[in-house]
Structure 1
Amino acid sequence: MRILGLSKDNGYPFMTGSELTKFNLRYYRWLSPKGVKDIRDYIVKKGTLLLYKSGTTDGGILGNVFIADEKLDGCCLSDHVIRIVFNDVRMAYWAFAFFRSKGAKKMLLRLATGTMIPFITPERIAETLIPSPDENFERIVSLIEKYVDFNSRSKFLEEEAISMVEAEIEKWNKH
């Protein structure tokens, strides 16, 4: 009897929160819809704000904020990532810019609780006030939209370049 492993053909790509910090996002693990109860809770869509909820407060990944791009669209993320969904992707971009600011980063670290491994709860994030859009809204949203698009495109292009180099190396090894 042959046991088939999970792959993109029969599962969802899965990433840990720490893998979000890496530029070259590659899928190594897959989650099966049959093996994970409520798998839809783990899947993120483009435009979802992602906040790493646990880690150290001394320069670790606690409070790091990401925004799901095309590379992460349809990917499953671990429970260590809080998903913040907005009805309007433009508000997600506005909130992303806010949470990436130095002041908001300090605020997020102050929201952490726990002693050994500090963590931020979704409830505390839900109580966080985000500044209302102002006269800079359109410009900030436009810049973040470009950032998301360029960042996403660069990930796919890097993946393509790596595949090309690997294929060339494979050719060399056959000779």
Structure 2
Amino acid sequence: MLVRPLSYPDPALSDRRIGLRMWREADIDCIRLAGTDPRIPKGTTVPANFTQAGGLAFIHRQWARLENGEGVSQAIVDVDDDRAVGLLWVALRPQPRVCGLGYWVIPSARRQGVATAAVRLAVPWALETLDLQRLEAWVEPDNLASQHVLTSVGFQLEGRLRNFLTDGRRPADALVFSVLPSNR
């Protein structure tokens, strides 16, 4: 249970290049593009076979996460044109004052610091506004780009959870990274 209630950041988070905001139905092309990378649908609810209805259902699920008390899912946007290029979500964990962090970026927006900027925006907001004692991320060992994002923002590698993640076909290990308020 959180000490403070879940809500979207107000004002929306931005570094004047990258921003985080509530998903909009107009962001549907971002969902289509995310589905073109096999890794994103494998580990998320992004539809692998895009349809308009499936893309809209994905966006509606993101809104429901806040309403259901699961967490806060936000679109990562390019501030210049407000175009969604990814997702960042802070998920409640069963432990009090602990949340998980997840994110993805569409293939055409990678290697431009988008994920790093989005995580950098989200971490202080999550730790302070949600009054967290811990924010953690689980990453597959071969996802070196995500590991780099996390360590560059101050997350520390804690260990490996063997056979922890499942992609529907096989179990996979997860590396556990975390950041604490005292690390900031």
Give the TM interval when normalised to the shorter protein: under 0.3
From the CA coordinates, give the structure whose radius of gyration is larger: 1
TM-score, normalised by the number of residues in structure 2: 0.27
TM-score, normalised by the number of residues in structure 1: 0.28
